Amino acid sequence: MRQLVLDILSQPAVLVAAIALIGLLIQKKSSAEIIKGTTKTFLGFIVLSAGANVLVGSLDPFGKMFQEAFHVNGVVPNNEAIVAMALTKYGSTTALIMFFGMIANILVARFTNFKYIFLTGHHTLYMACMIAVILVVAGMEGFQLVLIGSLALGLIMGVFPALAQPYMRKITGNDQVGFGHFSTLGYVLSGAIGSVVGKNSPSTEKINFPKGLGFLRDSSISIALTMSILYIIVAIIAGPDYIEKNLSNGTHFIVFSIVQAVTFAAGVFIILTGVRLILAEIVPAFKGISNKLVPNAKPALDCPIVFPYAPNAVLIGFFCSFLGGIVGMFILGAVGAVIILPGVVPHFFTGATAGVFGNATGGIRGAMIGSFFNGLLITFLPVFLMPVLGDLGFANTTFSDSDFAASGILLGYITKHLGSAGLTVFVLAAVIIPVAVYFLRGKKRVPENL
């Protein structure tokens, strides 16, 4: 039963389809509308996940080619890898914190100004897992462990979407959808940088191509061609022998590189298709829950939800974030710290999203500079997270996204200096204060500038 609950809650498609179903039932829609809305929401997330899998599959050989080409070794941040290791020891605690944390998120949305229901199930699982590890290392157990972990998770699921919402309004042009992906600090940083450096900078979507290159306005074509050039350059440096013996099963290294690059573009195309399906159904369906259970609440959805709004910024953000990761890697090596290698997957998803946020406030310059600093952020923060993860801190991987690192660093260092009792007081105060403010201010909505 525990595994069944964990599997359901960790599957975004099932979770969001269930939310859509409940919302449509609350609105007393017809059976045809309920079936249509629930199925299309489910289908949209399956399509999005399929696109993500295609994209990740094409990036995996690129990461190996990069390490071979430049002969670097170190810690590769990867959420899936570190969580897979942690669940073998902390699985039961993670499941309990995740389940009750989602309930806490609903209560936080109902009784505070953080009106967001976090629907990115896999990130909820990852954050629950990291919290479980840190609290167990701190010496918590039993009821206290689950209570404090769940409250911390529920609050985190409300606070980070609130930080992103001013930028979401700029990106989407409305206030209907929240943002639920735990690298928010990097995105907010990118948006803030864009507002500083991007004066008079045109949007990435208004890049003027010469008439003969007009086909590059099609984002799928521009992504495929740009990634082909990048793959081929890295493949040449890595060498044909390495690629053909270890990655391509004998296929010529240039042909293999081009296929992987175009597969990457296909993954992005599939993701955008899935996002359009989800947006068409989840927002109307969610109104039922928002109106009945949590007034004014918004669904906080995964990062690809912003990709269709600035496809060019997606590609620019990935490149510049990855460049930031490379620069950060050399800085860490120069100062003698643990070397964090630039993981291609986290730099794509967080860098692409940071590019969209930076573009919303600062156009091309905002997308480039903002995502570059996102790359630096997700390179440096894991260095400070690793010491609070106990035995997992010595693994050759760690959490990759900025909110995991920031939350873990905060919880871990409070525990280190104040003990489990101090952490308990801190988490309880962090929950009670927003609730008190909500009621004292007469249940007003979250400030526009938060």
Rounded to whole angstroms, the Cα distance separating 144 from 138 reads: 12
Q: Phi and psi at residue 330, in whole multiples of 5°? A: -70, -35
Three-state DSSP at 198 gives coil
pLDDT value, residue 448: 47
Rounded to whole angstroms, the Cα distance separating 346 from 321 reads: 9
For the stretch 175-214, what's the b/e string if a residue is b when 16 or more beta carbons lie within 10 angstroms of its beta carbon? ebbbbbbbbbbbbbbbbbbbbebbeebebbeeeeeeeeee
Average pLDDT, the chain: 85
pLDDT value, residue 439: 87
pLDDT value, residue 402: 94
Tell me the H-state helices in 10-140. 12-26, 31-70, 79-111, 121-137
Query: Average pLDDT, stretch 60-77?
Result: 79
Three-state DSSP at 167 gives helix
Quick one: three-class SS letters along 306-359? HHHHCHHHHHHHHHHHHHHHHHHHHHHHHHCCCCECCCHHHHHHHHHHHHHHHH
Q: Cβ–Cβ contacts within 10 Å for residue 104, how many?
A: 23
Question: HSE of 31 in the Cβ direction (CA atoms, 13 Å)?
Answer: 0
Return the ∠ at Cα 349 (arms to 99 and 268), rounded to 5°. 110
Given a contact cutoff of 8 angstroms between Cβ atoms, the answer to whether 327 and 160 are in contact is no
- Which of 49-63, 74-88, 223-237 ranks highest by mean pLDDT? 223-237
Query: Average pLDDT, stretch 202-231?
Result: 75
Rounded to whole angstroms, the Cα distance separating 58 from 72 reads: 21
Query: Average pLDDT, stretch 9-35?
Result: 79
Determine if residue 375 is left, alpha or beta; phi over 0 gives left, psi from -120 to 50 gives alpha, anything else beta: alpha
| Residue 314 identity (one-letter amino acid) | V
Given a contact cutoff of 8 angstroms between Cβ atoms, the answer to whether 407 and 384 are in contact is no
Query: Average pLDDT, stretch 10-28?
Result: 77
Query: Average pLDDT, stretch 402-407?
Result: 94
pLDDT value, residue 231: 87
Rounded to whole angstroms, the Cα distance separating 359 from 205 reads: 9
- Which of 49-53, 54-58, 414-418 ranks highest by mean pLDDT? 414-418
Given a contact cutoff of 8 angstroms between Cβ atoms, the answer to whether 265 and 227 are in contact is yes
- How distant is the alpha carbon of residue 290 from its chain centre? 24
pLDDT beyond 50 at 403: yes
pLDDT value, residue 7: 66
| Residue 315 identity (one-letter amino acid) | L
pLDDT value, residue 436: 92
Rounded to whole angstroms, the Cα distance separating 37 from 321 reads: 36
pLDDT beyond 60 at 445: no
Rounded to whole angstroms, the Cα distance separating 318 from 322 reads: 6
pLDDT beyond 50 at 214: yes
pLDDT tens digits, 122-148: 788 889 889 998 998 888 888 899 999
Rounded to whole angstroms, the Cα distance separating 315 from 321 reads: 10
**Between residues 448 and 415, the one the model is more confident about:** 415
pLDDT value, residue 79: 80
**Between residues 13 and 193, the one the model is more confident about:** 193
pLDDT band at 4 (very low <50, low <70, confident <90, very high): low
Rounded to whole angstroms, the Cα distance separating 360 from 309 reads: 9
pLDDT beyond 90 at 381: yes
pTM for the full model?
0.80
Q: How far is CA 132 from CA 79, 252, 365, 385, 422, in A?
A: 15, 46, 40, 14, 17
Determine if residue 399 is left, alpha or beta; phi over 0 gives left, psi from -120 to 50 gives alpha, anything else beta: beta
Q: What is the side-by-side strand order in the sheet with 298-301?
A: 116-118, 298-301, 178-179
Of 227, 220, 285, the closest CA to residue 29 belongs to 285
pLDDT beyond 90 at 321: yes
Choose the weakest-confidence range: 248-252, 282-286, 364-368: 282-286
pLDDT value, residue 368: 96
pLDDT band at 53 (very low <50, low <70, confident <90, very high): confident
pLDDT tens digits, 263-320: 988 887 887 787 777 767 776 776 666 667 788 888 898 888 999 899 889 889 998 9
Query: Average pLDDT, stretch 225-240?
Result: 88
pLDDT value, residue 179: 94
pLDDT value, residue 119: 84
pLDDT beyond 90 at 56: no
pLDDT beyond 60 at 257: yes
pLDDT value, residue 196: 95
Rounded to whole angstroms, the Cα distance separating 173 from 56 reads: 30
Rounded to whole angstroms, the Cα distance separating 297 from 300 reads: 9
Return the ∠ at Cα 315 (arms to 403 and 79), rounded to 5°. 30
pLDDT band at 375 (very low <50, low <70, confident <90, very high): very high
